[in-house]
Structure 1
Amino acid sequence: MSNRGRKKGSNGERSREQLLTIATKQFANNGFYQTKISSIVKEAGLTQPTFYLYFKSKEAIFRELTTIFKSRLLSLTEDSLLDSGLKEEMIQEEIRGKLGAIFHFFNENPQLTQIGFFQSEDAANLKKSLAESICSNLLQEQREGYFQPHIKMDVVAEIIVGIMERLTISRLFTSMSEPEELAEQVVELLLFGMQVHR
């Protein structure tokens, strides 16, 4: 077996994961342009040739991190589709739990979120894809009779993405609110509004 083959065994996978972990931290803290391959490998305790075994360039490792973030976020969003036939009293609880899972993902992966949701040049396209996925769910749920038929779900989807984006910066990353608390507030607002019904 060649040295390259040995490197890509279990030790190699650990080295690759270590590079991804350190790169995530450095990109999130320093930005793409200020992060250097030399600083990533130094902190990881590895060499530059080891880096190039797994990633062709700084752009390649950054792109992999944004792909990981996008894949996980869109998977959570697809999974947030409500089951059919829910009783009315369960709808709020289900939505709160599914939105809370997304806020938990952001909260548990702040550096990856910083890269994928805010720093990446592809962040705008990601948010567009996120809104489309949310809209698709909402339209299906609207057909199930969960939501009022006259509401424009493409607008609601954009509102939800904007809320998620802003609250992640202002409340999650500052530790002012927990994911469940944010999910509860968002669901309360979207399902019941602000007006007092007399």
Structure 2
Amino acid sequence: MRANKAEGLASKLRIDYPHGRFDAFPVVAQAMLAVDEGTLRRSHLVVSAMGDWRAESQLNDWQCRLGRSMPVVYGWTEAHAVAGHAVAITSGGGCLRCGLDRTGVPHFRVAAWPDERAVAFEEPACGAHYQPYGPVELGFVTSLVAQLALDCLLGKVTRPCHRIHAARRASLTEAGARWSDRWIDQYPTMTEGGVQVEREWLSGTCAACSASKVA
């Protein structure tokens, strides 16, 4: 029987960590912000791995309107999990929109794809598209996001920051990609990959940051 992912995750966490409290809210993020934002306001940290620009842009705007009184950590992977990103948005500095274009595409990417058709494969007969990577490759990214979340809770992160995991060059090449020009320009000694780096997030120059300053 199919179950809501939020409820399923909460149920698993209750089993794995019986000493903790885990509540599920089986609604989309937009509804959470509109109907039950009080729950988010009482949180010490929000971690977003939705991969949905419409929802995450609204979460970002909500955080800006509140004056960024709590940190929000965003995590995402690049195609084929050849790179992963964890961004902490805190008070001061830029918000999430500052580092992405108006459609949610990050300005800084580790990989470049000469053949965009290599980004996804199509299953025969059914028309479904997928990227061939699994929990092993994704493990680097989830660890990256989890560590940044812990650092935020422990007060080690006070300014917006951007942490990146870049896979080994062999994995990048096998997937049909190459290092992006910006990666080579900023990290010329790390073209073998298999590394994690931290860089500053862009300054607060977007419309959302400007609006929050006026408010």
- Does TM, scored on the shorter chain, surpass 0.5? no
Choose 1 or 2 for highest CA Rg.
1
- TM-score (normalised: structure 2): 0.24
Instruction: Indicate the structure with greater helix content.
Output: 1
